[in-house]
Structure 1
Amino acid sequence: MQDISAYIITYNEEIHIARAIENAQKYAKEVFVLDSYSTDKTVEIAKSLGAKVYQHEFKYHADQLNWGLQNIPFTTEWIWRQDADEYLTDELIEELKNRLPNVPDHITAFTAPCLRKFLGKYIKHGIIPLILLRLFRRGHAQWEDKRMDEHIYVTDGCIENLKCPFFDDNLNNISWWTNKHNNYATKEAIDLLLTEYNLHPQSSVVNSGAHSEAIRRKKLKYIKLPLFWRAFAFFILRYFFRLGFLDGKEGFLWHFLQGFWYRTLADAKVFEIKKKYNFNKEKIKNFLKENYLNK
């Protein structure tokens, strides 16, 4: 067993939590669950499987994740941040076993490819695998204090890459998915506006991985494109040019819902805010500062 703790945050994840913990127990000495006062059987299941459960009121992801880093008594050298609907492949677990014992001290984190399943099907086409920083040495990383699109970053040292993937495989139904992404679209709209008007607080991020930095650069280009047309173009790029149609009905639903509908909804919320303030930049900026900054 590697000198790793699994770190899972939850809220009403009874559909996923057993799978996540049983997967984490394949690679981690200890499994910690930070729960946001679930009303289902998440906590009961987690405790029954031997996980150590802590609870804290949820404000936003970065706040919750950083609270856990500061208050959960991690003792292992390494921490793997795992979502409840994720699991590591056996190949990745084997790679961790082989690589971690020989990691030099200046390496303080690792990224790994995140692959996507939707409605039970692996989405192979149309999307580039996310390369996410998920494994880090205790005391050498934290999350940006942002309400949307927060990134984990290392406070010192260097990042290396793991080659084998883990999966994001949510088991909830389409109604749950669309409700969740409606809420995400609100946060995304605010983040797009904060970025457009250069209102994000100056960050002390020194290293969150090359992929994360590339995503940031692409987002800066995306916000300069016309509302709504950018979402349509994004869908066309993924579904046709990147061959998303090869993944059948599940692929169509994924690319349409996540690549077009969700981004169009975020743009609609951007448009709604701008129209409310008659497209006056100063009024929009004041609204954002009063409602979404320093909260």
Structure 2
Amino acid sequence: MTPITGIVITLNEQSRIAGCLDSLKQVCDEIIVVDSLSQDDTVRIAEACGARVLSQTYLGDGPQKAHGVSYASHDWILALDADERLDDDAVAAIQALSLDDPDIAYRFNRRNFCGSHWVKAAGFYPDKVVRLYNRTTSGYLPRKAHSSVASPRIEDTGTHIRHFTYENLSHWMQRIDQLSTRDAWAMKERGVGPSPWRPTLHATSAVLRKLLLKGGILQGADGMIVTVTTAFHAFMKYAKLNELYEQERLERK
């Protein structure tokens, strides 16, 4: 089997990192964890699992993952988030791949969970993500939020990654708060300006997209939960962007 380096970025992931690394060890010859100065036992646990740990102040999603890739011993990279696990079908598929064409990156279907409940509604499944690629031709875009892999060619494996996104609904709301703050910061870094209309416009667009285009209106409670949380996230990231500019304006006075 062609050697693969696993890459994971972390911040205070002590409860989840071992499961992620155990998953990667099934197919990876090397694992690198890029840790954003965790204050818990993430680093100790990762090292105990056999990973090489690099400490790096958070650079943003894409740049942080790229930082780890630069230390990899192998050209084939398998990137997982700390809350992701390879399903058995994905492990079998990766083990069977020849990996003889560096132009191909491989895409997986992600199964998103809230606690033990698999949320499929309103576009939450199959949630296709590229995770396996060759660094000589492909890599994560230099986006500070929600980066993705750019590659000459992408092939679907048709197999699965489990994504333990939220522990429960309360955690779901906490994550929206955290991610919307990160998104606002990333947008400001890209030069996106403030607007009194964007929060409402983007929230409304999210409702229409999830309810109608993604079929959430026909998918019961899960459809409504995904719709409401997506709209709230959209509203808050633009509201927080406006807040950043307002804070900057006040500091200049």
What TM-score bracket applies, with the shorter chain setting the length?
A: 0.7 to 0.9
Match of 1:262 in 2: 233
For 1:46 and 1:82, how far apart are their aligned partners in 2?
14
For 1:40 and 1:251, how far apart are their aligned partners in 2?
35
SS at match of 2:13: coil
CA drift of 1:92 comes to 1.3
Change (3 A) 1:188 1:244: same
- Counterparts in 2 of 1:221-232, with a 5 A limit? 227-232=199-204
For 1:260 and 1:86, how far apart are their aligned partners in 2?
24
Match of 2:67 in 1: 67
Count of equivalent residues:
245
Stretches of structure 1 that go unaligned for 5 or more consecutive residues are 198-222, 278-283, 288-295
For 1:266 and 1:55, how far apart are their aligned partners in 2?
28
Percent of aligned pairs sharing the same letter: 22
Change (3 A) 1:59 1:189: closer
Match of 1:214 in 2: none
For 1:226 and 1:36, how far apart are their aligned partners in 2?
31
For 2:167 and 2:115, how far apart are their aligned partners in 1?
8
1:82 pairs with 2:80: yes
Contact kept? 2:102, 2:133, Cα under 8 Å: no
Letter in 2 for 1:234: A
- Counterparts in 2 of 1:1-295, with a 5 A limit? 3-70=3-70, 72=71, 74-98=72-96, 100-101=97-98, 103-105=99-101, 107-127=103-123, 129-154=126-151, 157-189=152-184, 227-239=199-211, 242-244=214-216, 249=221, 252-257=224-229, 259-270=230-241
Letter in 2 for 1:181: I
Moved more, 44-53 or 265-274: 265-274
Letter in 2 for 1:261: F
CA drift of 1:50 comes to 2.0
Residues 151-177 of structure 1: CA deviation (Å, up to 9, x unaligned)? 3323xx533222112122135454444
For 1:107 and 1:236, how far apart are their aligned partners in 2?
37
CA drift of 1:227 comes to 4.7
Change (3 A) 1:18 1:96: same
For 1:50 and 1:106, how far apart are their aligned partners in 2?
27
For 1:164 and 1:62, how far apart are their aligned partners in 2?
24
Residues 192-233 of structure 1: CA deviation (Å, up to 9, x unaligned)? 675877xxxxxxxxxxxxxxxxxxxxxxxxx9x965244234
Stretches of structure 2 that go unaligned for 5 or more consecutive residues are none
Change (3 A) 1:37 1:255: same
TM, length-normalised to structure 2: 0.79
Structure showing the higher strand proportion among its residues: 2
CA drift of 1:14 comes to 0.9
CA drift of 1:82 comes to 0.5
Letter in 2 for 1:118: C
For 1:158 and 1:189, how far apart are their aligned partners in 2?
31
For 2:141 and 2:75, how far apart are their aligned partners in 1?
22
CA drift of 1:244 comes to 3.3
Contact kept? 1:88, 1:166, Cα under 8 Å: yes
Match of 1:290 in 2: none
Residues 169-196 of structure 1: CA deviation (Å, up to 9, x unaligned)? 1354544443432242244346667587
Moved more, 235-244 or 113-122: 235-244
Match of 1:205 in 2: none
Change (3 A) 1:271 1:54: closer
